[in-house]
Chains A and B, each alone.
Chain A
């Protein structure tokens, strides 16, 4: 059962009209998740919104919030003898302080793109003489898959498999945004697939403590439009609550089995986010029982001194303070072909989405 194109169009118009009717003052809504950013552009949702409703991107692109220091460490891993790097493709082009994984690969480093962390176990089995390092990046959606892979490695007795964890938890970043005096966010579109794992509880503080409306939402155009509609309803009524628009996937308790695996293998630690600095309890590190899989401890690393790219304003983009077009590099010295910063690299990055879908030409320019 699916809606026809006409049905979809009419339902979309209903939400868009409702949004227009309720938008009596300027509101800023943050789409936290990079997948939402892309879906919003692809469906042309921005053009449906009245000028009062501004959408800003948030810190929900895992590649974008990974600081240069991590890329530099990954590059140092790739330079260790007899080492294979297994990574999701997005990471390859992110510029580190002096190089990128792509440049290292061109110079002969053994770097392989995987679609699942399980692929890196296969590489480890097939190459017993080599050390295989999986670059473990991603939020609550992805971290349990890496954790399950570590458990598999243990079960299979693999001794040449390691992870370099840059996993992050989404709610602490929202806390950081809400605590900043300059953020001015009137409502949040919350990431459906992290909540599918963690459940709703970790997101309740947004409405309960900060009195900011929040809607957990899916990734279809109508899901997102309905979520914006529900946010404006809350804003108009002045009654902030956490609403779950994505009930077909997000259960209140999340996925307890995935959370168990996650908590068995990882523990929360303070960690650095690009653009934010250290956020308390927002990173994931291997627990003592699995520390032997930590690449940073197992490999002899010689790392460059890390610095962020000059003039890049990813930090402000990720905190929702500026839109990508507000960066002087945007579309000039920084394009998806020649990215200066991480937000222009990942397909989920706000700068890359702005560039690809119209270079920010649309009505709010």
Chain B
């Protein structure tokens, strides 16, 4: 029930947005994330965008995992 999926906003009109999640587009409400803009990555839950995904932080997490991977490969 609590499943939330990441998606990209590709269009917005007032408080509704069209988002793309792995090639599937759908309409979601932006009432809970009024400042979201086209191009943003957001988390979708129950028909609403509930939080934006910070791309810098996402990259940092991946970089960390990669660094660890290098460390693990060396040791």
Contacts and interface: CB of A to CB of B under 8 A. Distances in A.
B47 A197 contact: no
B2 A258 contact: no
B57 to A, nearest CB: 4
A137 B43 CA distance: 19
A261 B4 CA distance: 19
Given A148-B31, A257-B32, A348-B1, A14 B48 contact: no
B45 A248 contact: no
B45 A145 contact: yes
Given A33-B2, A34-B2, A141 B32 contact: no
Contacts of B62: 1-3
B43 A196 contact: yes
A11 B34 CA distance: 37
Contacts, number: 127
Given A117-B47, A151-B31, 7 more contacts: A62-B2, A115-B47, A118-B48, A247-B60, A247-B61, A248-B57, A261-B31
Interface of A: 1-3, 7-8, 10-11, 13-15, 17, 33-35, 61-63, 88, 90, 115-119, 137-139, 141-142, 144-145, 148, 151-152, 191, 193, 196-197, 222-223, 226, 247-251, 255, 257-258, 261, 346, 348
Interface in B13-62: 29, 31-35, 43, 45-48, 50-51, 53-55, 57-62
Contacts of B1: 61-63, 88, 90, 137-138, 142, 346, 348
Contacts of A15: 68
A3 B50 contact: no
Q: What are the nearest 7 A-B pairs in CB distance?
A: A116-B47, A248-B57, A248-B58, A14-B72, A258-B32, A196-B51, A148-B31
Contacts of B66: 3, 7, 11
B71 A348 contact: no
Contact of A3 (B4, B43, B60, B65): B65
A27 B2 CA distance: 27
A293 B32 CA distance: 20
Nearest to B67: A11
Given A141-B2, A193-B2, A193-B4, A14 B59 contact: no
18 contacts: A7-B65, A10-B72, A13-B72, A15-B68, A17-B72, A115-B47, A118-B29, A142-B46, A144-B50, A145-B46, A148-B29, A152-B31, A223-B61, A247-B57, A247-B61, A257-B32, A258-B50, A258-B51
Nearest to A151: B31
Nearest to B57: A248
A139 B4 CA distance: 13
A198 B31 CA distance: 16
Contacts of A142: 1-2, 45-46
Nearest to B45: A141
B33 A257 contact: yes
